[in-house]
Amino acid sequence: MPSLGADMDVGKVAKWLVSPGDVVRRGDVVAVVETEKSTIEVEIFEAGVIEELLVAEGEEVPVGTALARVAGPEGPRVTPSTSVPAPIPASAAARPASAVVEPATTSTHVDQPRRLVVSPVVRHLAERLGVDVHALEGSGAGGVITRADVESAGARLRDVSHSPLDASQPAPVPRGRPSPPPEHRAYPSLTGVRSSPLARRVAAELGLEIEGIPGTGPGGAIIEADVRRATHREASVVAPSPLGWSGEGEAPRQPGPAVASGTTGADTRQVAMRRAIGALMARSKREIPHYYLSTDIDMSHCVAWLERVNTERAVTSRLVMPALFIKATALAVATVPEMNGFMSGDRFEPSAEVHVGVAVSLRTGGVIAPAIHHADQLSVDALMVALRDLVNRARSGVLRSSEMSDPTITVTNLGDLGVDSVFGVIYPPQVALVGFGRVAERPWAVDGMVGVRSCATATLSADHRVSDGHRGGRFLSTIDRLLQHPEEL
Amino acid sequence: MTDDDARDLIRAVLGEVAPEADLDSVGPDETMQEALDLDSIDFLNFVTGLHERTGLEIPEHDYPELSTVEGCVRYLTASSG
């Protein structure tokens, strides 16, 4: 069970999308996992053949639990197939990576290959600290290698060599796991059923099988209205209203245990989500010495540019301001790299890649901040497509594991709700969060004259262990400068 | 398009954009974005939904007219003849 965000302790396997014998490639979605916050499609980070599924559908297990056994492409049980990738070079095989389970080792003289169980986050940490996970004994349940195992091994390494990163070490590779190709991959459709959490709850309340209900939500996802409609069809007492929505098409709700238990289920999930957010934010406030800066940005160029661009565009390809905020933030990281990356132990590891976490509020309560990958390399148009897709999927409840586990910096935009500024709490182990308030007309003094301009307040919450106010100020002024030339973003 | 058609259409599209929202709680002249907690992406999805069902282009400078349910009804009935 991969860690899909620092606030996740357990996950439930909602659905397996592979079976034993299936050949998988890196990045394939192999399972759907439900967390307290969302439904996540779990991608596998290693090619191979699924040998065995170790956790049944519906089972909830702690982070770090092995979900499946995968034989590596060179493994003894590989079935000849053209889709099996070429054998991994020895150097790469020395530090294999797998979201679920490491491939069985291929040494011929070992009958029972040792399984190496390590979550991507912990493996990340190990790579950063120069710890060879293969040499570790996992102290977690079922031999899982935990963060503590890696940290103590890292500390031992430091004791041996005072400078673990001295010149004798190979040049640092770009940190982080191998990234997906920069081009935006088409979103593979699930063989399973996509549905919003609310739709599933309502279906469960009404005793309906959710599969088979035609979905009209984003990407064909089943939403509450679909379930309500299906109720009408099943009841077939009244002709279904073609535009039936929960208001007028309210399914007959019987007061009774079914409804009561459904409500309790939702409450439990709400409580669990608040607890998870609370725990993570408490940890952030406890561990991260935050400092906060804010700056007012003249947004008139952006407003005018968006207006002009959108006038020429069909509804479906119009841009919104948050896309510009995200792109400017992603680009500004190049000037002040200490805003982008992770703390591991007491060391900051800058990230060569810019994956911007976007805080998305869920209408049922709670917030989630999945990543737009390589946001610095996407055109504003591509970023807009990615943003719309991400927000829609976050709200309809289908995100992918890589989106949850690897944001390198977060952007929050509460301006749509009308607030002027937001001083956010950093998502550990990230080190910075940029907030944007609403874009509104304000008096603005230029050259001794007061005029009216569209403005927005940008704020930065950053980690004092990594940077100070001077660098933070530089970061915000870089964002400001970038937003003065929206056409170049 | 009659007022009732427009209202049904608005309900249907909002139901997709914000399935969890309770449209009945929104007064006819209340700003939908505020009442239903719609952000800019939601609103764009809403306008896209109206566009897909009516074929109207709905330029951005018309957005202010769409901020309330009654405003939307007026806009849709006037535009679609």
Top-confidence residue, A236 or A162: A162
* Proportion of chain A above pLDDT 90, given as a percent: 34
The predicted model gives A85-100 an average pLDDT of 39
Do residues A153 and A131 make contact, with C-beta atoms less than 8 angstroms apart?
A: yes
**Does B16 lie at the interface with A, CB-CB under 8 angstroms?**
yes
According to DSSP, the β-strands at A409-413 and A356-358 are parallel
Check if B9 contacts A (Cβ < 8 Å).
Answer: yes
User: What contacts A161, CB < 8 A, 6 or more positions away?
Assistant: none
Restricting to B residues 20-39, those with a Cβ less than 8 Å away from any Cβ of A are: 20-24, 33-34, 37-39
Closest alpha carbon to A375 in A405, A413, A403: A403
Query: Mind listing the domains of chain A with CATH numbers?
Result: 10-160 (2.40.50.100), 197-253 (no CATH), 289-488 (3.30.559.10)
A105 by Cβ neighbours in 10 Å (0-12 / 13-18 / 19+) ranks as middle
User: Is B10 an interface residue toward A (CB < 8 Å)?
Assistant: no
**Is B21's pLDDT higher than 80?**
no
CATH code, domain with B37: 1.10.1200.10
Q: Which of A218, A315, A321 sits opposite B40 (nearest CB)?
A: A321
Alpha helix ranges (H) inside A109-192: 120-129, 147-160
Which residues in chain B have Cβ-Cβ distances shorter than 8 Å to A304?
Answer: none
What is the residue-averaged pLDDT of chain A?
75
Inter-chain residue contact A318 with B44, CB threshold 8 Å: yes
Q: pTM for this structure?
A: 0.62
**Nearest residue to A293 (alpha-carbon basis) of A468, A429, A410, A482:** A468
> Could you give phi then psi for residue B66, rounded to 5 degrees?
-95, 10
Lookup: tokens for A273? 């989500």
Q: pLDDT-based confidence at A416, cuts 50/70/90?
A: confident
Q: What is the pLDDT of residue A478?
A: 97
Residue A336: pLDDT band with limits 50, 70, 90: very high
Closest chain B residue by Cα to residue A308: B60
Cα distance from A199 to chain B (closest Cα, Å)? 9
pLDDT, tens digit, 9 for 90 and up, residues A271-293: 888 888 889 899 999 999 999 99
CA angle, B46 as apex, A213 and B71 as ends, to 5°?
125
Backbone angles phi, psi at A188, to 5 degrees: -70, 140
Q: Which of B19, B48, B61 minimises the CB distance to A316?
A: B48
Q: How far B75 CA lies from chain A's nearest CA (Å)?
A: 16
Q: Which residues pair with A60 in a beta bridge?
A: A12
Question: Using one digit for the tens of pLDDT, what is the confidence trace for A25-68?
Answer: 888 888 888 887 778 888 887 888 888 888 988 888 888 888 88
In the prediction, which pLDDT does B50 show? 93
The tally of domains found in chain B comes to 1
Give the integer Cα–Cα distance in Å for B38 and B15: 12
Question: What is the residue range of B32's domain?
Answer: 3-80
Report the run of H or E that residue A443 belongs to, with start and end.
strand A440-446
Q: Are residues A466 and A348 in contact, defined by beta-carbon separation less than 8 angstroms? A: yes
Flag if A217 and B16 touch (Cβ within 8 Å). yes
B15 pLDDT band (50/70/90 cuts)? confident
